[in-house]
Structure 1
Amino acid sequence: MGLPAGRNTLLRRVRALPDPQIGAVALLGVDDFALRRGRVYGTVLIDLDSHRPVDLLPDREAATFAGWLGEHPGAQVICRDRAGAYADGARTGAPDAVQVADRFHLWSNLAGYVETTVARHRSYLAEPPTTCEAADEPRADLDGAVAAARDAHFEQRAFVRHARERYAAVQELKAAGVGIKPIAARLGLARGTVRKYYRATSVDDVLAKARDGHGSILRPWEPYLTERVNAGITNGSQLFQEIHDQGYPGSRAVVLAFLRPLRAGGSTAAPAARPAPKVRTVTRWILTHPEHLDEQETLALKTILTRCQDLQKTVGHVTAFAQMLTGRHGDRLNGWIAAVDADDLPELHRFTRGLLRDHDAVLNGLTLPHSSGQVEGAVNRIKMIKRQMYGRANFDLLRKRVLLAT
C-alpha cells in the first residue's frame, strides 16, 4: 500500500487504541470460544439489547467472569449455556441477576443423551433375519459373522486401544477422588476429553460414536463380499482382486480379516440383510419434527420403535420436551422430569439430574423469550477474524479487532 510504517508499528497503533466504553449491560449474553481448540478457551460477552460485543475474557473461569461482573454492575438478565463456571460466576458476581439457560444448548444436551440411548439399543436397529422355509440345509449366521468381522477390525485400530487406556486411567483417578480439572492436568488431556471419560459408565459409551460413525474402509464392499461368499466363492485373493477392480483402496489384509469369520461360518448362508441404520441416523430421525421426515424415514423409525419400547418411550419424552421448548411452557418442566424418571431410561435420567441442578436457569430458559443466538453469531465472527489472522494473533489483538470492529 506504500505506507512508510512497518507492520509492527501498525500493530502497536492498533493495540494502543482505547477500548470502547462499557456502560451498564442489563441483558448480557455469555459463551466461550476456542483460542486453541480443545486446549485454550476464552469468553465473549454480548449486550443483547444493542447486539454488540462488550468484552472478551482470556479464559472461561468462574472467578474471571465474576470479577468482570463485579467491575461492571447492572446486569439484570444473564443468558448462558449449561457450563457450571458461568453459573458460578454469575451467582458470585451478579447474585441478583436472573440466569437464563439457552434453549439451543438445552436441546443439544438432550440430543447427546438421546444418541447414547440409541447406541445402547443398537441391536434393535437392524431388521430381524427372515427364515426361508424352502431351505433344507442349515444356514450359517452370516449377519453375526459380519458383525464379528467389523468388531474385530474396529478393536484393532490404534485409537480404540488409546481410548481404553485413557478410560482406565481416568476412572482410576476418579476412584481416588481426583476431580476433572486435576486429572486433565495430570494426564495432559483437554478437560472436555477427561469429562467424557469421567462421566461414561463404560468405555463402550465413549466408543459408541466412533463405532457407528466411522465405518471400515471396506464397508461399501461388504454386501458384495457377502453375496460372493453365499455363492461359494471364498478365495481371499480372488475376492480382493474383484473389489480392487471396483475401486477398493484398502489392503488385502483388511479383506482377509473380514472374510475369516465368514469362512468359518460356512459357505451356505442366508442372503445378507439390509444394513442397519447408523445410530446417528436414527438419532436424527428422533430429533426431527415428524413433518420433516420423508415417507421412508418415517416408516423405518416406526418399525424400529415397534421393536423397542425404550426407544418408543424416548421418542415420547423428546416430543414433549420439544413442545415445551418451542412453546416456552416452563410450567411443564417438573411434570416432564417426573415422567422421564418414572421410566427405566438411565441416559435421560442423567439429563434430568442436570436440569435439576440448574433448575431455575432452565425454567427461565423455557419461559422467558431471551436466548443466546446473538452470542453464537459473535462466536462465528470471532472464528472468521482468527482465520483472517492465520491463527497468529495474540489475545489482546484479537480482542481489539472484535471490540473496535463493531
Structure 2
Amino acid sequence: MADLGTAVEQCVRQHTRCLQPPCSDPGDLPDIELPRAKELSPIEARIRERHAIVHALLDQGHGIREIARELHMGGNTVRRSARAATPEELLGSRRQPRPSQLDPYKPYLDKRWVEGHTNAVHLHAELKELGYRGNYQTISNYLRPRRRRRIRVFGPAPPGLRQVTGWIMHHPDRLSESEGKRLAEVLTRCPELAAAHRLIRSFAEILSTRTGQHLKAWVVRARAEELPGVHSFAAGLEKDWDAVVQGLTSHWNSGPVEGRVNHIKMVKRQMFGRAKLPLLRKRGLLTAAR
C-alpha cells in the first residue's frame, strides 16, 4: 500500500492546479469610494486606500497574517491600519503637501475627469500642450485615489498535496464531513484525480475481499487512464504477478513474520548500539515467549 500511496501522491502532484478553488466574482468586495483627489496628497491617498482595504477584509473575517500575505504588506503595517478606527488616526498631524507643478492644472484635470476622460497618458499629453512641464507619474498619482478599486476575495488556503493524497487513500467512511466535502470539490474539478480515486477504491475492495482474480481487470482499467503514477504501480504488480495474486487471494501471508522482524529492529534501536547478537537473542526470545 505504500507503493500505491506514492503513486497517488505523484498523480496529485501532477494536478496541483486542481487543488485551488476558483474565485467567484460575486464574492468581490463592494467598490471603495475615496475622498476627492484634490483634497489628498499621494501619500494620504495611499494611507486612506490601505485603511479601507484592510478593514473591508477584516469585516469578511480574514486574519492579519492572511491580509498581509495577500496584499504583500508588512504585518505591522496591516496591524496599524487595523487598530485605527479612521484613516485620520494614521494620518495624524501630517503637514500639508508641498506645492507642485501640477497645481495650476488640477482644475482642468477635474473638469476632464468629470467629462469621462480618465486615461492618464492622454491627459498628460493634453497638459503638455497647455505648458505643463512635469512628468506623467505626478498626474497618475493625482488621479489614482479617484479610481475605484475592486478587491479579489481570497478564500481558504487550498488543501496540501499530502492532505489530498491521504483523503484519496482513506476509506470514505473514515473521513470527516468537511474532509469528504473538500475531497468531493477537488474531484469535481479534476477528472484525472476522480479516476485515480475510483481505481484506489476498487483496489481496496479487491484487497479487503481477497478477490485477486479481479486484479487483471483492474490493471487494464488502470492502464486506460492518463495516470503515469498508477501505471508505474501496475507495472510493479506485473513484475511479481503470481505472488501478488496469491497475496490478494489466500488468507496466508507473511504479515506475522514481518511484524516480528519490525519488532526486533525496534528492540535493537532501543538499546542504542549495545544490541550485540547474544543480548539481542535473549531479548528476542523473551519477548517471543510472552
TM range (shorter): 0.5 to 0.7
Q: Which amino acid aligns with 1:302?
A: A
1:153-192 alignment, distance < 5 Å = none
Instruction: Pick the structure with more strand per residue.
Output: 1
CA contact (8 A) 2:247 2:253 kept: yes
Distance apart, 1:330 and its partner CA: 0.9
1:127 aligned onto 2:21: yes
User: Structure 2 counterpart of 1:398, which letter?
Assistant: L
Q: Any idea what SS the aligned residue of 1:110 has?
A: helix
Per the TM alignment, residue 122 of structure 1 is displaced from its structure 2 partner at its CA by 1.4
Could you give the per-residue CA deviations for residues 78-101 of structure 1, whole angstroms, max 9, x where no partner exists? xxxxxxxxxxxxxxxxxxxxxxxx
Q: Does 1:112 align with 2:112?
A: no
Give the distance between the partners of 1:350 and 1:235, measured in 2 at CA.
46
Note if contact 2:9-2:162 (Cα within 8 Å) is conserved in structure 1.
yes
Q: Distance in 1 between matches of 2:187 and 2:270?
A: 48
The residue that corresponds to 2:192 in the other structure is: 310
SS at match of 1:274: coil
Name the residue aligned to 1:234.
Answer: 73
Letter paired with 1:225: R
Which of the numbers 350, 363, 373 marks the counterpart of 2:232?
A: 350
Q: Which runs of 5+ in 2 are unaligned?
A: 33-61, 82-148
| Deviation string, structure 1 residues 257-286 (Cα, Å, up to 9, x no partner) | xxxxxxxxxx97423321111122211211
Aligned length: 191
Distance 1:292 1:336 in 2: 24
Q: How large is the RMSD of aligned CA atoms in angstroms?
A: 3.0
Are the aligned partners of 2:30 and 2:150 in contact in 1 as well (CA < 8 Å)? no
Within the candidate set 219, 242, 263, 1:360 is matched to 242
Secondary structure (helix, strand or coil) at the match of 1:275 reads coil
Structure 1 runs of 4+ with >6 Å offset = none
1:203-241 deviations in Å (ceiling 9; x for gaps): xxxxxxxxxxxxxxxxxxx952332577x8935654599
TM-score normalised by length of structure 2: 0.58
1:317 offset after TM fit, Å?
0.5
Q: Which amino acid aligns with 2:64?
A: Y
Hey, what does 2:44 align to over in structure 1?
none
Aligned match for 2:254, one of 345, 365, 372: 372
Taking the aligned partners of 1:236 and 1:294, their CA distance within structure 2 comes to 34
Where in structure 2 are the equivalents of 1:2-401 lying within 5 Å? Answer: 107-132=1-26, 224-228=64-68, 234-235=73-74, 238=77, 269-395=151-277, 397-401=279-283
Rg larger for: 2
Between the aligned partners of 1:328 and 1:122, the Cα distance in structure 2 is 33
- 1:14-53: per-residue Cα shift (whole Å, max 9, x none)? xxxxxxxxxxxxxxxxxxxxxxxxxxxxxxxxxxxxxxxx
Report the identity percentage: 37
- Looking at structure 2, the residues matched to 134 and 338 of structure 1 have their Cα atoms a distance apart, in angstroms, of 50
